[in-house]
Amino acid sequence: MENCSRLKKRVFDVIQIGNRSDHLSRAFDIFIVITILVNISVMFLETFSGMSKYNDIFEALELITMIIFSIEYALRIWTANFLFPEERRGVAVFRFLISFDGIVDLFTILPFFFLSGFVAFRMLRVVRIFNLFRINPNTDSFNVITSVLYEKKNQIFSSIFIILVLMLASSLCMYSAENPAQPENFRNAFDGIWWSMSTLLTIGYGDVYPVTFLGKAMAMCIAFLGVGVVAIPTGIISAGFVEQYTKAQSSADALDISLQTVIVDIDSKWIGLGIKEISENYGVHIVLAKRGDVLIQPNDSYRVEMRDALAVWEGRVDKK
């Protein structure tokens, strides 16, 4: 039993992403990245009629990569109790299955078993593109993007609501002005929505356009509004990036000898917990986290993972 537990622990260390100090783990990460790129490349090459003579090779590569993904998925389920050590075996497996990584892993192997079925199932092959999310979710850029979107979600939703309102209003106005002149293009309000979407979002397909004086006048106003509307979420996200990097830099500059550095190990009680839960339960405030080579400014979405290096305020630090 002890040897089996030690083997499972070693497998868990290898298949986890981001441990640059473990050469075997690093080699496994590179191998998985190559496998993902091969799988995605095969999916695209299969769509070219001129490549049909290589179908046997493509099918073999697809089979090999899907076997690799299936084995990795099974190993992640097998070692789930190390990912959530505070949970019972069944609960740990369930938490992995419903996690983002678990769902992506499932979606990348599920289509392979249904490709010969109904058309609806064959369409699932498209979700294999989610494989690309697994290449390295721990990069600094990925963390910054997710943090910004999470922190600015209210403002982003508000700007999307404004876009939808303007789109609805402009579609009804354009339908009222253009339907009598070109009923074949503006048959109903939905055709107006199609035109307003392409205009407000500055795409301008040109397949539907106004021909009346009133319609053209409204189109000019709506086009100007579209430039401003697109700029709203862009400005919000850009400001969020600046704030995120400023906060990370300020936190890094503020670190001094008054802070403790805690390396989270396999016996840690903090794994899977957020900063609020750790603060309330253990009386410790996490100022900064480092995951691999990535510096993270903890927020409400942050969850402690094994091997995270945490900068915490001095105080009561129980067994981690």
- Domain 2-137 grouped into CATH 3.40.50.410: no
pLDDT of residue 62: 85
Domain(s) labelled CATH 1.20.120.350 in the chain stretch across 2-137
CA distances from 117 to 17, 44, 120, 221, 254 (A): 34, 20, 8, 50, 58
Supply the pLDDT for residue 170: 86
Q: Residue 233: which of 165, 155, 167 has the closest Cα?
A: 155
| Burial label, 81 (beta-carbon count in 10 A; 0-12, 13-18, 19+) | buried
Write the DSSP assignment of 188-231 as a string of letters: SHHHHHHHHHHHHTT----SS---SHHHHHHHHHHHHHHHHHHH
Task: Spell out the per-residue pLDDT of the chain, length 320, in tens.
Answer: 667 778 888 888 888 755 566 778 778 888 888 888 888 888 788 878 888 888 899 889 988 988 988 898 899 899 888 888 778 888 888 988 888 778 877 877 777 776 554 444 444 555 555 555 555 554 555 667 777 888 888 888 888 888 888 888 888 888 888 888 888 888 888 888 888 888 777 676 777 888 899 888 988 888 888 778 778 888 888 888 787 777 766 655 554 445 566 777 766 778 878 888 888 887 777 878 887 767 777 877 678 887 788 878 754 444 44
Architecture of domain 153-248: Orthogonal Bundle (1.10)
Secondary structure class of 244 (helix, strand, coil): helix
Kindly state the helix (H) or strand (E) to which residue 62 belongs, with its residue range: helix 55-78
Q: Is 6 left (phi over 0), alpha (psi -120 to 50) or beta?
A: alpha
4: closest CA among 80, 86, 72, 78? 78
Instruction: Tell me the pTM.
Output: 0.53
The pLDDT value recorded for residue 248 is 64
The reported pLDDT for the residue numbered 140 is 54
Residues facing residue 261 across a β-bridge: 311
Buried residues in 220-251 as b, exposed as e (16+ CB within 10 A): eebeebbeebeebbeebbeebeeebeeebeeb
Domain with CATH 3.30.70.1450 in the chain: 255-313
- CATH annotation of 255-313: 3.30.70.1450
Q: Alpha helices of 98-138 — where are they, by DSSP H?
A: 100-109, 119-122
